[in-house]
Structure 1
Amino acid sequence: MYDAIVVGARVAGSPLAMHLARRGYRVLAVDRATFPSDTVSTHYIHQNGLARLRAWGLLDELLGTEPAAIRQAHFGYRGLQLSGWAEPVDGIDTAYAPRRTVLDALLVDAARRAGAEVIEGFTVAGLVFSEGRVVGIRGQERDRPMREFRAPIVVGADGCRSMVAAQAGAEAYKVVPATGVNYYAYYSGLDGDLHHRVGLHETWCGAWPTHDGLTVAAVICGRSRFKEFRRDVPGNYQAVWDEIHPELGAQMRDQGRRESDFVAMPHADNYYRQPWGPGWALVGDAAYHKDPYPGFGITDAFIHGEILAERLDQALSGERPFDDALAEYHKLRDEMSSENYEFTTTLSAFGELSPRLRGIFGAIRKSPEWTTRLFGLFAGGVGHDEIFSPEAVRRLYEETGTPHDRRVHPAGSA
């Protein structure tokens, strides 16, 4: 009998297992994969996500694997261009985009060192129920006999297509349909900055460095163009770069070298799922997913996993009832993520910006200070109200000398 079972041992599951094991609980984490292994990913960890790794004592271990440091970003949206970087977040002034073969194995090892039992290559066949409550899992390692494990809480950290969510009946809400499909590959010979540009025809391109002198270079095409795009992925991929970012497109042709096959990353819809019920909980993409465009997924998995671990500790220790603790996790997760969710679903539609957003971004690009503040929003060190509240927008327009006839002041957030 375990105190907790975690299904999925990547960036959401292993940190949760580690936190609970460090608190003295008997934890089992299972994953169908073996580690190290790859998975589709943005790779990107924002500064506030790196702050969590440092707090857990794992950042130096990650830096020891020598991921490339990112300290400059170039952001473009339909002709609006901004370049800069965020102020340090909790003293961290860089971002990193580690290979998942490195990051996930590091997190699995950390969970094991903390005392969690991790079974790799384990496929969960289903949840075990008793009187309407989840009480465990059953599954097997490859060709071995079916096994059953029990615990008072089973957590699904098993991604967008979560088996735990499906069998527990977790309902989705605030669903926003996905708009694109991502293709990425690893290149050598490109510069080390973060590039992020939206074009005029439901397209986006981005690049950021990772391990081993390689750069993750990606494009997104709208779903309406997907069939056309996949008829000639290399040619259409290069065409997106040439259209949106011709300088980097030329660099990819003239001095870059593609070092991998293209990886397709069809986007799941944006959604929240009910993240708990009798005997079960969800974390990471199983619980909450948004378009990969801003790269918040890994960072949110770290933050929400830490919140869930604290509430499970309260419940497992008898400090408060499970329902009370998990309802608070649900409330905190939704409150903390709502503004980023709205911001992400707005920008990832790749449509025309609202007059308000175009006015705000247009004013921001006039000011290095406000540009730094905007990049701080992505990094996790600046709140949305510091940029998008009516008071902040009025201050932005005044400080940048924006003419009154170009100021848009509707109430509300972006």
Structure 2
Amino acid sequence: MRMYDAIVIGARCSGASTAMLLARQGHRVLVVDRSTFPSDVISTHFLWPHGMSYLNRWGVLDQVLAVTPAQTTIKVVNDGIPLTGSVPVDLLREYFRDLHGDDTGVVQSYASIRRRVLDQILVEAAAKAGAEVRTGFAVRELIRDGDRVVGIRGRTADGQTVEERARIVIGADGRNSFVARTLDLPKYDERPKCTFAYWSYFSGFDLGPAQLHRRGRLASAVVPTNFEQNMVLVWGPSEWSREFRRDVAGNFQRALDFVAPEVGEVVRTEGTREERIYGTLDQAGFLRPLHGPGWVLVGDAECFKDQCTAIGMTHAFRDAELVAAALGRWLRGEVPVDEAMAGYESRRRSQNAAAYYDYVCTLAEMRPYRHDELQLFVALRGNQQETDRFIATHGDVAPVSEFFQASNLFLLNDAAKESSAGHAIFDDFAATSRSYQQNLFA
């Protein structure tokens, strides 16, 4: 029986990337997935600029850009207050230097990439790097030697049962991770309050760069994607999902009309829906242990967050580069495995990571914005540098603690008191806020 250095379970964003990076280091890697490719999976499939930068660092960005539109500016509208900006290059460089020790390959663009496109590119890149890729392979069991995971047992596409052994087994198999369930890993810091989300794909119009709108407890996004289509997404608090499901197509359009009337009009009069409406109702956040004897988790298997900031794929790439670097040091004999995994954990469980997890989970509650929060958005309209930093913070490029530190908010709110006067959202804030809390679909 051949001994691999690493077996990766899951061959999508985190798994294929991890396998590719380890194989490029010269390690013997097997990556398996029950799916075949190309294929789609439930995903908001958005990549922030640092996500695109990872692809550029790995030499596969050109393949993505050949078939996927990309932009640098993004429009964010909160309760009618518009902000337009981009993630600053200097913050991107600082992000990569702090996390990975170098800032090569930084790009400022973002893109919405269908998974049938992206995952196929990554699987092919892993195979080209020298990883053995087996698709249509269902893992049935983790093989253990005492408390240590030493391999897998599974079934091939033609029904053959096989066993494989490795020095490390990597669980890159998503939020419902087989590895995590088999090892009976606990979830902790669970956040049950989350969003529901529905989306589909429309042709027939071009609204330019991505638009994110929020009004009250509902939100929507329109982002150009592959095949000359736009991904159109609506979401709201999970406690409203039951009412929404009574008429998904009708409420999808009603939500668009409520949150962003001009977008709703374009979708209704110019758009052609090319696929069914997809949905997800359970976005509850959680953390799991990162590693143990013979195993390690990456991506959503280890930390799942609500879709409201569309950070999942970008974080999958982050984890892939971090874990491949850590495991590479151990596999080359430079450090013991415990030291390598401790280094991986220290970066994944950093104060910044914890603050961003809390930020996403708080946003996912979809509470109406407070008066002072709306004032902040108004103030940002006249400060492009801080607007860009806010967008970078929302996308986890800049630390949450830096933007929302008291001294920074104090200065911005001083400006907001002057610039918010006469803005429509403040004319009757109390009544407006109460109306937002009513269930639109009751």
Same fold (TM over 0.5): yes
Q: Which runs of no fewer than 5 residues in structure 2 stay unpaired? A: 94-105, 422-442
Deviation at 1:126, TM superposition (A): 1.6
Structure 2 counterpart of 1:184: 199
Aligned to 1:236: 251
Distance 1:258 1:404, change over 3 A: closer
Match of 1:365 in 2: 381
Seen in structure 2, the aligned counterparts of structure 1 residues 346 and 401 have a Cα distance that, compared at 3 Å, is closer
The farther-off stretch of 363-372 and 104-113 is 363-372
Superposed, which structure 2 residues align to 1:7-406 within 5 Å?
Answer: 7-65=9-67, 67-88=68-89, 89-90=92-93, 91-190=106-205, 191-200=207-216, 202-335=217-350, 336-353=352-369, 357-397=373-413, 400=415, 402=417
**SS of aligned partner of 1:3:** strand
Specify the SS of the correspondent of 1:152. strand
What is the total number of aligned residue pairs between the two structures? Answer: 403
Provide the alpha-carbon RMSD of the alignment: 2.1
Distance in 2 between residues matched to 1:268 and 1:405, nearest whole Å: 34
Task: Give the aligned partner of residue 6 of structure 1.
Answer: 8
- CA distance 1:225–1:388, shift in 2 (3 Å): closer
SS in structure 1 at match of 2:63 = helix
Question: Which letter does structure 1 place at the counterpart of 2:399?
Answer: G
Paired residue type of 1:75: V
SS in 1 for 2:13: coil
Q: Structure 1 residues 405, 41: CA separation in 2 closer, same or farther (over 3 Å shift)?
A: closer
Per-residue CA deviations over 1:56-90 (Å, capped at 9, x if unaligned) read: 1111121122x112233222334543233232345
What's the CA shift for 1:141? 1.6
Partners of 1:170 and 1:159 in 2: how far apart? 14
- Quick one: structure 1 residues 405 and 77, their matched pair in 2 at CA, closer, same or farther if it must change by over 3 Å? closer
Tell me which moved more, 268-277 or 321-330: 321-330
Q: Which runs of 5 or more residues in structure 1 are unaligned? A: 407-414
Mapped contact 1:170–1:276 kept (Cα < 8 A): no
Q: Which residue of 2 aligns with 1:409?
A: none
Confirm or deny: 8 A CA contact 2:375 2:417 kept in the other structure.
no
For 2:51 and 2:6, locate their aligned partners in 1 and report how far apart those are by CA, in whole Å.
24
Contact 1:221/1:229 (<8 A) preserved: no
**In structure 2, distance between residues paired with 1:108 and 1:305:** 14
Q: Which amino acid aligns with 2:40?
A: D
Please tell me whether the aligned partners of residues 195 and 206 of structure 1 are also in contact (alpha carbons under 8 angstroms): yes
Q: Deviations over 1:243-262 (max 9, x none)?
A: 11110000001111111111
SS at match of 1:153: strand
Distance change in 2, residues 1:254/1:354 (3 Å): closer
C-alpha contact 2:311 2:395 (8 A) present in aligned 1: no
Cα distance between partner residues in 1 of 2:152 and 2:283? 26
CA distance in 2: counterparts of 1:57 and 1:98, whole angstroms: 17
Alignment identity in percent? 36
2:379–2:420 Cα contact (<8 Å) kept: no
| Residues in 2 aligned to 1:206 and 1:267: alpha-carbon distance in whole angstroms | 19
**Distance in 1 between the 2:342 and 2:186 partners?**
15
Q: Which range moves more in the overlay, 216-225 or 238-247?
A: 216-225
